[in-house]
Amino acid sequence: MSDTRPPASRFGSNSGQSFTRRDGIAKVTGTATFAADNHPDGLLYAVYVPATIARGRVSHLDVAAAKAHPGVAEVITPANRPMLDGDPESKGFMFAFRFEALQDNTVRYANQPIALVLGETLEAATEGARLLNPQYEALPARVGLNGDTPYKVEVGSFGRPGQTVYGDVAAGHAAAVQSVDLTYETPEQYHNAMETHAVVAEWQGDHVTLDMPNQAIVMSRGAYGYYFGIPPENVLIRSPYLGGGFGSKAIPNGPTVLAILAARMTGRPVKLMLRRDQMFGPVGHRGATRQRLRLGIDAGAKMTVLDHESLATTSTFDDFVESAANASQGLYAAGALRSAQYGVRVDAGTPGPMRAPGEASGSAALECAIDEMAEKAGLDPLEFRLRNYAETEPGTGLPYSSKALRECYLRGAERFGWSKRPMQPGQMRDEAGMLVGWGMGTALFHAPMFAAKARAVLRPDGTGLVETAAADMGQGAWTALAQIAADSLGLPLDQVEFRSGSSDLPDGGVAGGSGHTATAGGALHAAGSDAVRRLADIATADPASPLFGAGNAGVTARDGRFFVIDDDSRSESYADIIARAGGTEVVGTGSAARTPEDAGHHAMYSHGAVFAEVKVDPELYQMRVTRLVGAFAAGRIINPKLAESQLMGGMIWGISFALHEEARFDKRTGRIMNADFAGYHIPVNADVSGLEVITIHEDDAHVNALGIKGVGEIGVVGTVGAIGNAIRHATGHRIRRFPIRIEDLLHAALG
């Protein structure tokens, strides 16, 4: 990638505008069609039967009783399950996870599918599932961080390193004049997007149409093609809207594959939508972590060592270890830097990427440890962070592609009023006598790009059509990507039709890793630019055009017309050019990806600083986050309204992580006892107030052609630690376990 950006003249002004989301009215009026809203003729309803033990085998299913129930059409068990072409135990493609699709009677975790019942109605299938009355031979369940023997992770999730060491760690410890050695724990969390996993599958010969929420629409064609022995192009995935994904809707899972199989087996379309409790098992989660942080500082309070170990739960049959220790990479300058991941195998489903995987839980511990170190050093937490500010990427020494973290700190602190913070905890009270505490955390998230393609068409009437199979999980892809596309075509937003969310379109890449806008947007930008270039070639080569002879580089595109640069009197509309050229639409294509070479020259991250105010009752310890100010620098913001909304959403995840979310296991059975929204708490509106987001613009010529980083996940990073630190500041109690509960503060107070 060159350091020069594409000519600004090729950009319009759609990007940077706070357009309201284009699909908003359809969603609030109920006309947006989510996967489970589809009801093809002849539909059968599928219900999967979840295991109620965590380890062992199914010894009996009362298939006769289920089949005898009126309306039950079919019962699928390991005894009659048709063959899959791709083995669910195999790793047949990139990002393949092992899953249970009735290949045998084994139970590996609670809520694993052990049968699938098909009914003419949902009620019939549900009752048929109950009537199967499974019997088990159960083995003792292993759950929790002490469930089994830890092992060292050499290659972490998504190929990231399991062990990273820079500098001489032992020397760093030895050189420290002050140090802390702290252990934090975070619990298992489950994605729980508002829309549960769903699929409506319909076969026609060896072609299958899947209406499903999907974060990786084109990539998933290959995955489903693999399991069903058909070429990827025989799989059509339609995913126009997702009711949230949170990382769990990119990866095939057992219940979904079984529903697709059931449709092929019965020759009828089949719908499966998971119940809320079924979200706690076969569709991924965030593993629990226990993190040990050892920090040392020199006499100037600069870190001599940042040594971060993390132990995380994973399944017995696949590998995904929450890479929490990696959160200490890339952020603070330290003489020596070590991130070491360990795993422990438990009887749970395989974890997966969830809302800033690694960073969220790692940052929760890191940012608390940083504060504990600052407190020991007698320094304000912000001052301590500034003293350890990394001007180049720690360890690698790479320059940052851009890094406005210092501005985030200063702008956020100013907005929050941080300078009035007393050093000692327990000093502030509000008018009602509540303890008040202020805390902060730094946010860091990598700025990746994946690979995407797009197609752009300039139509004879001068309007545009752009296509890429992007995924809108609620973040606003329908709007932000259309803004990029409109700019690339030199058209106003309302002159561009945007087709997306279907696998028969060019591959829009994965909506994950906070890289979707950069990736799909990059492809759209390239495709639009290509179409404009082709049309400019036609115009400038046509003696009948006022643009004749200006040359491709001599014209600029704006509002559906080309203008000769520096001579607005010479211009012509797209429609006129196309009409004279025979009325044929002009098609451009484009792709976007970051080459390893581009990636190797700079460290690329979004940054942020989060400031939290909490209030805590001094006797009853009810806690409330009363203010959160997040200042984020994430390159170029395409749509400020949507970006701020996403960042706020991430900060609310942070409240959730800090104070609410936790899967509660019965350690005897390995079953989750709060698998519903009454028991698995996430913040409600009444828990969220005083949220404020500041975005700080960065010109980043290296990260990609559009200068876009991501805002999807960084909001949670830093927020959790900021809240933990604020609770410490309010109460004087340091709770090293999330979520922080009323009883934790009570126990701390009682000693």
Partner 1 sequence: MNLFDYARPTTVEEAIAAWAPGASYLAGGTNLVDLMKTGVMQPGKLIDLNRLAGLDRIESLANGDTRVGALVRNADLAHDAGFARAFPMVAEALLSGASGQLRNAATVGGNLMQRTRCAYFQDAHSACNRRTPGAGCDARGGDNATMAVLGWSDSCIATNPSDFGVALAALDAVVEVEGPQGSREIAFADFHLLPGQTPDRETALAQGELVVAVRLPAASAQLRHHSRYLKLRERTSYAFALVSAAAALRLEDGHIVEARLALGAVAARPWRANDAEALLIGQTPSDELFKRAADVALTGATPSGDNAHKIELARRTAARALALAAIGTPKRMPAFPASLFGEHAHV
Kindly list the catalytic residues. Answer: 713
Indicate whether 137 belongs to the interface with partner 1 (CB under 8 A): no
Minimum CB distance to partner 1, residue 602 (Å):
41
| Count of beta carbons in the 10 Å neighbourhood of residue 59 | 11
Minimum CB separation of residue 627 from partner 1 in Å reads 8
Residues 6+ apart with CB under 8 A from 349: 108, 109, 111, 112, 281, 282, 283, 284, 285, 315
- Told to check if 750 binds partner 1 by CB under 8 A, we report yes
Q: Interface with partner 1 by CB under 8 A: which range of 214-222, 285-293, 640-648, 667-675?
A: 667-675
Taking CB under 8 A as the binding criterion, the range among 158-166, 314-322, 681-689, 696-704 that sits at the site for partner 1 is: 681-689
123 is a contact residue toward partner 1 (CB under 8 A)? yes
Q: Which stretch binds partner 1 (CB under 8 A): 38-46, 207-215, 407-415, 666-674?
A: 666-674
Query: What is the side-by-side order of every strand in the sheet holding 452-458?
Result: 496-499, 464-467, 452-458, 586-592
Nearer to partner 1, 607 or 660 (CB): 660
Residues 608-637 that bind partner 1 (CB under 8 A): 615, 617, 619-620, 622, 624, 626
Residue 434 interacting with partner 1 (CB under 8 A) = yes
CA distance 628 to 533: 46
Q: Which string of b and e fits 662-695 if b means at least 16 CB within 10 Å? A: bbebeeebbbbebbeeeebeebeeebeeebbbbb
Long-range residue pairs from 79-86, CB within 8 A, at least 24 positions apart, any chain: 81/258, 81/261, 82/261, 82/264, 82/265, 84/227, 84/228, 84/229, 84/257, 84/261, 85/226, 85/227, 85/228, 85/229, 85/230, 86/226, 86/227, 86/228, 86/229
Contact 669, 141 (CB under 8 A): yes
**In angstroms, what is the C-alpha Rg of the chain?**
27
Write down the least CB distance from residue 436 to partner 1, Å: 12
CB of 132 to partner 1, least distance (A): 12
By the rule CB under 8 A, 336 interacts with partner 1: no
- Judge contact between 548 and 581, C-beta under 8 A: no
Residue 142 contacts partner 1 per CB under 8 A: no
CB of 282 to partner 1, least distance (A): 17
Give yes or no for residue 741 binding partner 1 (CB under 8 A): yes
Task: Please report whether residue 8 would count as binding partner 1 according to CB under 8 A.
Answer: no
- Bridge partners of 630, per DSSP, are 610, 693
Question: Token pair of 191, please?
Answer: 């994605």
Does 743 participate in binding partner 1 (rule CB under 8 A)?
yes
The residue among 364 and 434 lying less far from partner 1, judged by its C-beta, is 434
How far apart (Å, rounded) are the C-alpha atoms in residues 596 and 601? 9
Residue 70 found at the interface with partner 1 (CB under 8 A): yes
Please answer whether residues 119 and 125 qualify as being in contact, where contact means their C-beta atoms are separated by less than 8 angstroms. yes
Residue 233 found at the interface with partner 1 (CB under 8 A):
no
The 10 Å Cβ neighbour count of residue 383 is 12
> How many residues form the binding site for partner 1 (CB under 8 A)?
44
79 binds partner 1, rule: CB under 8 A: no
Closest to partner 1 by CB, 130 or 697? 130
Strand order in the sheet with 561-564: 555-558, 561-564, 567-573
Of 671 and 702, which CB lies nearer to partner 1 in the complex structure?
671
23: tokens are 């699909």
Which one, 206 or 676, has the nearer CB to partner 1? 676
Segment lying near partner 1 (by CB under 8 A), choices 3-11, 209-217, 516-524, 668-676: 668-676
The footprint of partner 1 (CB under 8 A) covers 52, 70, 123, 126-127, 130, 430-432, 434, 615, 617, 619-620, 622, 624, 626, 659-660, 664-669, 671, 673-674, 678-679, 681, 683-687, 689-690, 741-743, 746-747, 750
